[in-house]
Amino acid sequence: MPDGSPDELLATGQVAMLLGTSRQHVVDLCESGRLPFQLAGAHRRVRRADIEVPRGRSAVLTRDQRRSLWLHRAVAGKLALDPDGVRRKARRNLAHLRAVHPDGRVRDDFGLWEALLDGLLDNLFEVLGSRSPRALELRQNTPFAGVLTEEERLRALAAFRGSVRAA
């Protein structure tokens, strides 16, 4: 029975259901090294912590984290209006990021971003607007650079500064 802990090992079918993608896509992510897994006999198992973005709230965000959250909420607005175009741009950016950073912890983040881009939009919206520690960490390696025009980015930043002053 699933326990929901970060160390819980999930079958590829369970991971696919959580990410809103196919089981074969999860297997492909594992085999390509983009999603860490362990073998249990002949079966792949993925740690829940490697695919789940916790729904809990972070108590205090830094100014940079709040700014990033604000910008990603603007990206979410563009995603709602043009899901295919935004996903296409993010996938191109992700390919570039992988080429520039082929090793290290960020590689796991890239695998999760890919699964989110290929999965249900609701899951992607959740990460873009979440204050959870994992979402904050993921957004440090965002594939959404260039989704907002320079004018949109500047307007979002101005609105962010206005919200900070109002608070």
Pair of tokens at residue 45:
């198992």
Global pTM reads 0.69
What is residue 1's predicted lDDT score, i.e. its pLDDT? 45
Domain borders along the chain are 9-50, 63-166
pLDDT tens by residue, 35-68: 888 988 999 998 887 776 544 444 467 889 899 9
What is residue 93's predicted lDDT score, i.e. its pLDDT? 97
What is residue 32's predicted lDDT score, i.e. its pLDDT? 78
